[in-house]
Structure 1
Amino acid sequence: MIRSIKRAVAFVVPGRRDLSLAWSTIKGRKLGFAGSFVAIAAGSAVITACGVLLESGLGTGVTPERYAGAAVVLSAEQSYWLDETAEVRYSERVTLPASKVAAIAAVPGVKSAISDINVGVSLLTPDGVVNGPDDFPVLGHGWSSSALGPFSVSEGRAPAAPGEVVLDADLASRGDVALDSTVQLVVGSIPSSYRVVGIASPPDELARQSAVFFTDDQAIRLSGRPDRVDAIGVLADPSVNPEQLAQAITAAVPDLVAHTGAGRGDAEFLDVGDARAVVVEMAASFGGTMVLIVVFVVASTLALSVRQRRRELALLRAIGATPKQIHWMIRAEVVLVAAAGAVVGAIPGVFLAFLMRGVFIVAGVMPSDFQMQVGILPILATLVLCMTAARLGGWLVARQVAKVSPVEALGDAAVEPKKLSKVRVIIGLLLIPLGLLLTLNNVAVAGDSAADTAASAVLLFVVAIGCLGPLLLNGAIAVFGSFLTRPFSASGFLAKRNAQANSRRLSAATTPLAMGVTLAAVQVFGASTAMAAAQDQIEDGLRADYVVAASSGTGVSPQVVDTVRGVPGVAVATPVARMRVLVTFPSEDSTATKVYGAQGVVPEGLGSTMDIGVIEGDIAGLRGETVALSRVTAETVGAQQGGTIDLRLGDGSVIKPRVVAIYENGLGFGDVTLPNDLVVAHTTAQVDSAVLIKSADGTDVDTLATALRAALERYPTVQLGDRDELLASPGGGADEGLLNLLFQFVLLGYIAIAVVNTLVMATASRVREFAMLQLIGAGQGQVRSMMRGETRIVVFSALLFGLLATIPPLIGISLGLTKQPIPSISILGLIAIVALTILLAWGAITWATRFAMRPAPIDAIGGRE
């Protein structure tokens, strides 16, 4: 074991003598190593950012508030674990049986066990609805749970009757509520009057909520779950160790999750635990991806750098340098450059982490008060990863150089190798039909997995471009070179011939640019295809004239539906509830679980308010434990009409519903449709998200709107809207889409840096070539014109091959989502991709050309490569 570790360290870290020699080499070739330094520094910044996010997700959170006085807080498991490391968070709060309170209280060391219930409340004042601090919610609880704070009554007394409440001091102050006054509290959509009999305060001010305390019986009645509790707080003597007590409780009482210390905030605030899961998962997966990309980018950059030094390395081989010595030299150079780049990149990486945190907050998957933890561990890990990645890339490059014999080395230094290796060509040619099979044939799993597979298959085309880059470039020059370089002018002739003679070098600039075009186009146009299909389905399928929704975010109570249905002129009122569900299905030799957006509706008159495009079965059978699935979902999970599926509701409840219908418009209305009462019963607040209203034939719409507003006056937290204001995306995927966009933007940004880096290196290294052209009579203007011709070849080839490689994946995505082969192309997105490609290539090559032509030709011609 120790010997293996020593070998691994020796692989990465060279000796002092090697480092000294490498430092001398680097000082003499600063420009040649600058490209590798930039690539590593940029990669270090991204990896550091992911490391900071990962450490923050694992180690920080939000300080508990109402549970601050509890030694241990017990809750139900809020996640479904796919394996030992991967989890999916439930969208609703998973509750505990009330009977566990007594079992926990019997555990030795427990002073008392107190149950807690959360009830969403709105406080109405003459000026409107009063929310919690910074628009956090107002939550109602039973008075006994105030001991978990602990709250102390500063004025008045504890509630003793169903119509009495105690407010926390901050809420009473902001609502201008005095002791013994009467307040209007809305639970769901139903307002009720309560007398304020007390004002209470916790030890520390509440920052993420406001608290209203009812009697315990009234809180249970308002929750609608007489036999369930949200959490159980444990009070213990100060001498009791909370961690040991938590272990004793979980050992004695099964199916509990114990929280101590800062972890108590996860049980109190579900958004904190949700944020932890999302941040850890995405930071870990994206960080791992970036490590692989850094290896390839650094290897490509080093390969270009070594190619520019081929005369020097050939001379070393000719005078007796062994392959092992070449390996040592390159290893030492790489380690020094990697160490410097990793350290320099770590500082902006911390700032990038905070920038990414801002996007997480905007996306709604991270609370604004989620604290970041910046420690030394992510920076050290980044240093190790970057050095290892660079060392691996250097080893791959050194293998090619070191194995060449001295005679062959001198010959290879004179001219650029003409042929690609057979293995490289074969791999590139095989990847193209494999990618076509995955995108355009039935090799991929049906349903949304087909679209996912098509999107992933773009990597095959990207690698194929990398393998066949010089051949593809030669073909483009042969076919389009005359149109791009003005061949009858001296500069145009030089540009075309130079590109043909040095296709390997030019391909080093063209290939990464084409890869960036492909990845960007698939992301942009894949998203535009899905968005356009969803918008079309909503516009075509939405038939309701009005919608009733909550203005305060507390939902719409079922009583509102009955009120609306009684208004003259209302033909159909369809309540709609939302949640995320988990579907488990067979996948190859095991099972897989996917998250889907679900809606709960009543089947009566559903076709009058929304057309979900039923293609099999009958939606009228949607009662009890039944389900309707979108075609894409049904194909993905292998479900058929009349069969059953394994489904977990938002609160973790497991059911096995029978499939009564399959429909087409899942992108617009949600992939899973369940009975409304089933969904409502398993949401945290037990309310609907909205009510869709269809007017009867011949009804005057203005008269109906007036009648509806009059009927809804008794529900002050709901409002009437028209068809244009109806329903955001039902699947709840906006946050995930924004996060994917964030990580793709970071990835493409790194690729852009690598592209510019490569273009600058490839161009700036041509000092002697430009000097020779000027010495034989070419003017500086002609040399620049030649380079503009080469730039046109680079840009055109990158756009041509990059966009061609996107066609099969985009067709596969469109077929998987909509059954239509034509994707939706965003014109603005296409213009942006083309403009950015031109800007990157033109700017980099133009600047590098001016830099390479600064020395006088007579001085440059005698200089080193």
Structure 2
Amino acid sequence: MVTWLAWRTLRWHPGSLIGTWVTLVVAATAVAALWFVVDTTDRRQVPVERYAGVPLVAGTAGGGISPALVASVRSLPEVGAAVPERSFPAGLSVHGRPVRVPGDQNAWPWGHGWSSARLTPFALRDGRPPLARDEVVVDARLAAAARLGVGDRVEVTVAGTIRTCEVVGVAAARSAWRYQSALFFADGHVTELLGGRRGADALGVFPRPGVGTQALRAAVARAVQPYNAPGLPVVSVATGADRGEQENNFPSPAGFNTLWFSVWITALISTGMIAAAMGVSVRRRGMEIAVLRAIGARPGQIRRMLLAEGVSLAVVAAAVAVPLGMLLAPAVAARFRDFGAVSVAFEVGYRPAPMAGTLALALAMALTANLISVRRALRIRPGDALAEAPAEGRTLGKGRLLTGLALLAGAGALSAVLLSDLFAPDGPALMGLQFATLGLTVSAAGLLAPWGVLVAGRLVRPVVARLSPVSGHLAAAAVVFNHRRYAGAVASLTLGVALVGVVTGTQLFYDWRVAAQAVRDVRADFVLRPTPGAGALSEVLRRRVLAHEGTSAAVGIGSMPAAVSVEGRPAAREPLPPASVTLVTGDLTQVLDLPVRGRPPRDLGTDEIAMSDALAARAGAGLGSRLRIRLPGTAQDSSFTVTTIYTATPEVGLMLLPAGAIAGTHLTSNLHERIYVRGADPGEVVDARSAVESLTRQEYMWRKSEENAARNRLMPYLSVLVALFCAVAAVNSLCLALVDRRREFTGLRQLGMRRGRLAGMACWESVLTVVPVLVLALAACAWLVAVQAASEPGGLAGTLSFIPFGWLAALGGGALAGTVAGSLLVIRGVMRNNRQEMA
């Protein structure tokens, strides 16, 4: 009986449930598209290209394989040969024109020593191997793209310097080679290009005859174990498909958890939107439900009827959403590819698991939303069979108003705490407080939005009546009197738009904050950096800039991870996590504002180290403390004395070492991540073709802001996704509310009101509903951004620049356009039905 009633409702009253079905389809389509991408990411395997010619690779990053480790592996009885490999970005140009191969993961080719070519699928097709300093072998893809042959001259850019080389050979791959390009140099020349570094990035290992891969792996793993400090696994061993991870050609799935988060947050928000749509459907069928109660239907029967409707709608919606999700998934993957969460090699796969998961999640969303909406249905009394329909003019419940005001008061209290500077600028407590303030502000805006529309309608009612005496007057009266009808739509739209404004505005503020803090510490006039993908800058370039007339300082810095411990620190205390060590060439205090205690950093000896105050406080160390540092690629700790403690800054790591302290090791000390310059513009020295950026302090600030925004752009886009769901639900609710008013529109027509004025009335109602929402969302965003900006010197001056007017205008304009278009379609459909009934 219950199933029959549900089927009759779906068959004879499709208009009352079409809005719910549309919302379900939209939600399930988004979930399906995201799920296909995440499922493929789950099963992703990085293709093996560069190491296709060797069964085992011991890999690392930053030259962490020392000559001692290479000798140790070669001495193993299971090993037939061990070939070290060094990889580095090497730009290729012909007559000043950079050579690019479409489809490469990186903008630049990878440079290698020729001895490591045996690890790859490459073999000489033309010419001979490189033997001299300025000779190079190019892969066949590069040669085809640039129309190169043996004997041609090319420009090679490495670490900010340009060298002219002769092409002495062309190498062709025997297997798939699709996502990277290769240049091969003489091994001695590679050492020169890398600033004298003797360490390797990877070690390809071949077994002796008769030794299996697993036995080889176990032996090599034992050999590399001493080089992996606790908490700092520098060297990893890979065989089979895992070799692709060692190529460092594709980004690791660091954004993977974020991708799963996007699936679940989409499902959570969708449940709320579906519940709102189902609530509208239940409200529209209040008389029908009251009649069922009056003729003896029990609450359990009403509940089962509505749940059966939800299941039916979810199954049909999933059947439509899964194919739509399959069509949408490549576009989602392309967007994630732009974010760097997936690689260029990523291709969406379609397995049954996401399809079944989408169906299950659609059922779960529909049932959860139905249980929420059923509560309203069960509050309808049998005696309300005739009274429920005209009850739209009732005011909203006080509970919602009091809850919204309480949340608003809580947000104000937390804002006062944020303004009191009780927390460290970058502490986890401060971040938690800011997230709580954000959540309370957005939630309060959503709950109080209907009263905002009511107040705004009363204020602008005289103005609208003057502008449009008939349509505008009736629309303002309807919005004021029937504001309860618009509560669900207004709350959904306010929640979505306010969330986008607050999240995006907060992100803009933090982008500025990161850049402002960095520049605040920079005393240099210019900063040299390699362009993205270009690797590092050479010591040759730093010396050339320093020798330029008018330059007073040129300081280079590089970094590497290290395991750190304090001698004499109780073993029971929590061990220190790996920390970054900054290698400095030059007097850092000339180019950075670096308050210090103890000896100036420029006076550090080879066995002395500087430590940030943040690390010193965590380690319980001070001036004179002895630190044990394990640098990458070493099997023993080195001992250093802390002679300097400096104020932490984003520009340098937690520890400082003079580059000369490791000059005799296999580690790189003559390559720099940045060069700070005081004095003349280094752009006069730097070759424009050398892939080096010369930035002023202000340009450096904006570049840091852009980079921070690029790293964190996924959250604003997720908030936009949530806002789109909210907008769809709001437009759906507003249009269904118009369908409920068929009798009202018929009566107005019988009183002589023209169709144009009726359409104008619907458009005015859309404006009077959506515009106050935008104002409320803008106010919430401005308030939260102003509170955050007040915590930073100079932040309040740029408050307006942190408000995402463009995002808010686009979302609000889209919601307004959708509401107006939907309203006009509903009015047109109602008028057509009236003409048919009259006929």
Q: Deviations over 1:184-235 (max 9, x none)?
A: 7665356678887765433126433343445667656765687743233344
Q: 1:292 deviation in Å?
A: 0.7
Deviation string 1:721-776 (CA, Å, 9 cap, x unpaired) is 57499546247424224434433333333332222222222222321222234345
> 1:344, CA displacement in angstroms?
2.3
Q: Which amino acid aligns with 1:43?
A: A
Q: 1:64 to 1:835 in 2, by over 3 A?
A: closer
How far off is 1:505 after superposition?
A: 0.9
Shift in Å, 1:370: 3.3
Matched with 2:543 is 562
Count of paired positions: 804
1:447 matched residue in structure 2: 425
CA contact (8 A) 1:641 1:661 kept: no
Could you state the TM-score of these two structures normalised by the residue count of structure 1? Answer: 0.77
Does the C-alpha gap of structure 1 residues 117 and 247 become closer, same or farther in structure 2, counting only changes over 3 Å?
same
Partner of 1:141: 112
SS of structure 2 residue aligned to 1:272: coil
1:383/1:242 CA distance change after superposition, 3 Å: farther
Counterpart contact for 1:579–1:599, Cα < 8 Å: yes
Distance apart, 1:392 and its partner CA: 0.5
Give the whole-Å Cα distance in 2 for the aligned partners of 1:509 and 1:326.
25
Indicate which of 494, 511, 534 corresponds to 2:491: 511
Q: Is the 8 Å Cα contact of residues 474 and 500 (structure 1) preserved in structure 2?
A: yes
Q: Counterpart of 2:201?
A: 230
Give the structure 1 partner of residue 368 of structure 2. Answer: 392
The answer as to 2:39 corresponding to 1:55 is yes
Counterparts of 2:57 and 2:28, CA distance in 1: 39
Ranges in structure 2 where 5+ consecutive residues have no aligned partner: 226-232, 566-572
- Partner of 2:548, secondary structure, is coil
Distance 1:407 1:819, change over 3 A: farther
Quick one: which of 525, 530, 541 aligns to 2:505? 525
Classify 1:129/1:466 alpha carbon distance in 2 versus 1 (closer, same or farther; 3 Å). closer
Shift, 1:311, TM fit: 0.7
Aligned equivalent of 2:245, options 253, 266, 269: 266
Aligned equivalents of 1:423, 1:244: Cα separation in 2: 70
- Tell me if structure 1 keeps the 8 A contact 2:267–2:365: yes
CA distance in 2, matches of 1:660, 1:446: 19
Equivalent position of 1:751 in the other structure: 726
**1:125-149 deviation digits (Å, cap 9, x = unpaired):** 6556656775753434344433322
SS at match of 1:137: coil
Map of 2:21 onto structure 1: 37
| Partner residue of 1:322 out of 298, 311, 317 | 298
Kept after mapping to 2: 8 A contact 1:60/1:371 = no
Q: Which residue of 1 aligns with 2:703?
A: 729
Contact kept? 2:128, 2:169, Cα under 8 Å = yes
Q: Is 2:677 the counterpart of 1:693? A: yes
* Residues 487, 328 of structure 1: alpha-carbon distance in 2 compared, 3 angstrom cutoff: farther
Q: 1:263 is aligned with what amino acid?
A: D
2:296 aligned counterpart, secondary structure: coil
User: Are 2:562 and 2:580, in contact at CA under 8 Å, matched by a contact in 1?
Assistant: yes
Amino acid at match of 1:118: S
Q: 1:51: how far off? A: 1.5
Contact kept in structure 1, 2:502 and 2:780, CA below 8 Å: no
Using the TM superposition, name which of 109-118 and 54-63 deviates more: 109-118
Map of 2:230 onto structure 1: none
1:69 and 1:695, CA in 2 relative to 1: closer, same or farther beyond 3 A? closer
Q: How does 1:189-338 map to 2 (within 5 A)?
A: 189=160, 200-204=171-175, 206-213=177-184, 219=190, 223=194, 228-235=199-206, 254=225, 257-268=236-247, 270-274=248-252, 276-278=253-255, 280-338=256-314
Alignment partner of 1:152 out of 101, 114, 123? 123
Q: Classify 1:684/1:271 alpha carbon distance in 2 versus 1 (closer, same or farther; 3 Å).
A: farther
- In the other structure, the counterpart of 1:604 is 587
CA contact (8 A) 2:94 2:153 kept: no
Higher mean C-alpha deviation, range 282-291 or range 478-487: 478-487
Match of 2:774 among 773, 794, 799: 799
2:687 is the counterpart of 1:717: no
Give 1:67 deviation, angstroms.
1.0
CA drift of 1:662 comes to 3.9
The whole-number CA distance in structure 2 between the counterparts of 1:314 and 1:343 is 33
Kindly tell me: are residues 764 and 97 of structure 1, through their superposed partners in 2, closer, same or farther at Cα, counting changes over 3 Å? farther
Task: Tell me whether 1:117 sits opposite 2:94 in the alignment.
Answer: no
Shift of 1:249: 6.1
Counterpart amino acid of residue 277 in structure 1: A
CA distance in 2, matches of 1:582, 1:749: 46
CA shift at 1:556, angstroms? 2.0
Alpha carbons of structure 1 residues 469 and 451: separation in structure 2 relative to 1, 3 Å = same
Flag the 1:794–1:64 CA change in 2: closer, same or farther, 3 A: same
Q: Distance in 2 between matches of 1:198 and 1:374?
A: 43
* Deviation sequence 1:58-103 (CA, Å, 0-9, x none): 2235422121133343335xxxxxxxxxxxxxxx647345555577
Quick one: distance in 2 between partners of 1:730 and 1:64? 34
Residues 194 and 671, structure 2, Cα contact 8 Å, conserved in 1: no
How many Å separate the matches in 1 of 2:619 and 2:482? 53
Moved more, 433-442 or 829-838: 829-838
The match for 2:478 among 480, 498, 506 is: 498
Equivalent pair of 1:136/1:208 in contact (CA under 8 Å): no
Distance 1:181 1:458, change over 3 A: closer
TM-score (norm 2): 0.79
Alpha carbons of structure 1 residues 544 and 95: separation in structure 2 relative to 1, 3 Å: closer
Gap regions ≥5 residues in structure 1 = 1-16, 77-91, 585-589
Q: Distance in 2 between matches of 1:849 and 1:230?
A: 65
Q: Deviations over 1:422-474 (max 9, x none)?
A: 65445333322222233331498542454674356333233223434444444
2:351 corresponds, among 346, 371, 375, to 375
The answer (yes or no) to whether the contact 1:338–1:387 under 8 Å persists in 2 is: yes
**Alpha carbon RMSD of aligned pairs, Å?**
5.2
Shift of 1:298: 0.7
**What's the offset of the Cα at 1:306?**
0.9
Any residues of structure 2 matched to 1:531-542 within 5 Å, and which? none
Give CA-to-partner distance per residue, 1:696-729, whole Å, 9 cap, x none.
7xxxx8xx97xx54xx67x973668574995462
Q: Which residue of 2 aligns with 1:587?
A: none
Q: 1:314 to 1:853 in 2, by over 3 A?
A: farther
- Please state if 1:345 is matched with 2:321: yes
Q: Does 1:24 align with 2:8?
A: yes
Change (3 A) 1:678 1:426: farther
Indicate the SS of the match to 1:63. Answer: coil
Q: Which amino acid aligns with 2:772?
A: S
Per-residue deviation at 1:239?
Answer: 9.9
Deviation at 1:389, TM superposition (A): 1.1
Residue 7 of structure 2 aligns to a residue whose secondary structure is helix
Q: Displacement, 1:535? A: 6.9
SS at match of 1:65: coil
Deviations 1:344-370 (A, max 9, x none): 233343444323333344445544333
Q: Is the 8 A contact 2:558 2:671 kept in 1?
A: yes
The one of 409, 427, 442 aligned to 2:403? 427
Identity of aligned residues (%): 24
Where 2:110 maps in the other structure, the secondary structure is strand
